[in-house]
A and B are shown apart, each in its own frame.
Chain A
Amino acid sequence: MRGSRGNRGGDSDAALVAALGDGDLGALRELYDRHAPWLSVRLSRRCSDPDVVADALQDCFQAVWTQSGRWRGDGEVAAWLWGIAVRRLVSRLRGRRQVLVVPLDDSAAPGRTPTDVSAEERVLLGVEYGDLGAALGRLSPEMRAVVQATVLDGLTSREAGRLLGIPENTVKTRLHRAKARLREDLAVGATEGLA
Chain B
Amino acid sequence: MSTATPTSGWHADPELLGQYLRGEAGAALGSSVEAHLLRCDTCRGRIRPLVDPAPLGDVWARIEDTVQAPRPGLLHRLVRRLGVPDHDALLLAAAPSLRAGWLWGTAIALLFAAVAAGQGGSRGAVFFLMVAPLVPVAGVAVSYGPDIDEAYEPTLAAPYSSSRLLMLRSLAILLTSVPLAALGGLLLPADNWSAWSAATWLLPAAAGVALTLAGSTWTTPTRAGTAVAVAWFVVVGAVSSPEGTTAAALLTGPALSLYAAVALAAAVVFQARSGRLAVMGRNA
Contact = CB atoms under 8 A, between A and B. Distances in A.
> Are any A and B Cβ atoms less than 8 Å apart in their complex?
yes
Interface of A: 1-3, 13, 25, 28-29, 32-38, 40-42, 45, 50, 54, 57-58, 61-62, 65, 76, 78-79, 82, 102, 104-106, 108-109, 112, 117, 120-121, 123-125, 127-129, 133-134, 136-137, 141, 144, 148, 152
A152 B16 contact: no
Given A3-B64, A25-B67, A127 B30 contact: no
B16 A124 contact: yes
A1 B60 contact: yes
B27 A136 contact: yes
Nearest to A66: B67
19 contacts: A29-B60, A32-B56, A42-B34, A45-B23, A45-B30, A62-B63, A65-B63, A65-B67, A76-B39, A78-B38, A82-B38, A106-B26, A127-B10, A128-B8, A128-B31, A136-B31, A144-B27, A148-B31, A152-B34
Contacts of A123: 10
Contacts of B34: 42, 45, 152
Contacts of A54: 55, 58-59
Given A25-B64, A25-B67, A120-B1, A108 B24 contact: yes
B27 A41 contact: no
Given A41-B47, A50-B55, A104-B30, A32 B37 contact: no
Contacts of B30: 45, 104
Contacts of B148: none
Contact of A58 (B16, B51, B63): B63
A28 B62 CA distance: 13
Nearest to A127: B8
B99 interface: no
Interface in B1-36: 1, 8-10, 12-13, 16, 20-21, 23-36
Contacts of A76: 38-39
B12 A124 contact: yes
A67 B9 CA distance: 33
B91 to A, nearest CB: 23
Contacts of A121: 16, 29
B38 A40 contact: no
A133 B39 contact: no
Q: Which 6 A-B pairs have the closest CB atoms?
A: A137-B28, A128-B32, A104-B27, A37-B51, A136-B28, A37-B48
Contacts of B59: 36, 54, 57-58
Contacts of A34: 41, 44-45, 48
Interface of B: 1, 8-10, 12-13, 16, 20-21, 23-39, 41, 44-45, 47-48, 50-51, 53, 55-64, 66-68
Contacts of A133: 28-29, 31-32
Given A40-B56, A58-B66, A105-B27, 4 more contacts: A34-B48, A54-B55, A78-B44, A124-B32
Nearest to A42: B34
Contacts of B60: 1-2, 29, 32, 36
Nearest to B20: A41
A126 B48 CA distance: 25
Contacts of B38: 76, 78-79, 82
Nearest to A108: B23
A127 B4 CA distance: 13
Nearest to B44: A38
Contact of B35 (A36, A61, A152): A152
A150 to B, nearest CB: 13
A2 B61 contact: yes
Given A40-B51, A124-B12, A28 B44 contact: no
Nearest to A3: B64
B24 A124 contact: no
A110 to B, nearest CB: 10
Contacts of A42: 34, 37
A70 B26 CA distance: 35
B67 A41 contact: no
Contacts of A29: 60, 64
A177 B32 CA distance: 22
A3 B34 CA distance: 30
B57 A109 contact: no
A104 B31 contact: yes
Contacts of A104: 26-27, 30-31
